[in-house]
């Protein structure tokens, strides 16, 4: 199964939307170089599929990649169906390992408040960086079996 990276997102502070910077270094055992969440144990990189974002758009809310605070927005892979431990090859060099599917939402985010739902707690995934490199929009992301 192969998809594409459609957005590379970072934020300076935790608890805010991320913005697309087009490309960034993914650092082994850390995450995205310029992101506030880098180095957060097993949740070094967060991923959310464009297909998940579209579900909220269909509910009438204008949301874009990064609005769910995900680092990498993908297209073409059913992320929440991947088992923990799945390895993801990004581009030719970067290797990620899935460490968590979904997350507990302690506070209802602005998206939940507006439409009564948020996909990140169910469909977002987290990974650790096994092999580092530069990730950029347009890179392939391949599930390694």
Q: What is the pLDDT of residues 22-48, one digit of tens each?
A: 999 999 999 999 898 888 688 899 999
Domain 2-144 has CATH 3.20.20.70: no
Parse the chain into domains and list their residue ranges: 2-144
Q: State the DSSP string of the chain.
A: -EEEEEEEEE-SSTTS--EE-SEEEEETTTEETT-TTTT-TT-SEEEEEHHHHHHHHTTT----TTTT--SEEEESS-GGGSPTT-EEEETTTEEEEEEEES---SS--HHHHHHS--SHHHH-EEEEEEE-EEEETT-EEEEE-
* 82-140 pLDDT tens trace: 999 999 999 999 999 999 987 665 565 554 555 455 566 678 999 999 999 999 999 99
């Amino acid at each position: 199964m192969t998809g594409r990276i459609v957005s590379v997102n970072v934020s300076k502070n935790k608890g805010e939307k991320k913005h697309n910077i087009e490309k960034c270094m993914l650092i082994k055992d850390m995450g995205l170089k310029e992101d506030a969440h880098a180095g957060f144990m097993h949740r070094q990189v967060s991923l959310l599929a464009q297909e998940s974002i579209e579900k909220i758009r269909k509910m009438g809310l204008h949301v874009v990649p990064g609005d769910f605070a995900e680092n990498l927005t993908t297209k073409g892979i059913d992320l929440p169906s991947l088992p923990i431990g799945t390895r993801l090859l990004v581009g030719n060099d970067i290797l990620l390992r899935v460490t968590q599917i979904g997350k507990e939402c302690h506070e209802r985010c602005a998206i939940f408040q507006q439409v009564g739902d948020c996909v990140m707690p169910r469909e977002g995934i987290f990974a650790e960086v096994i092999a580092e490199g530069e990730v950029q929009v347009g890179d392939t992301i391949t599930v390694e079996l």
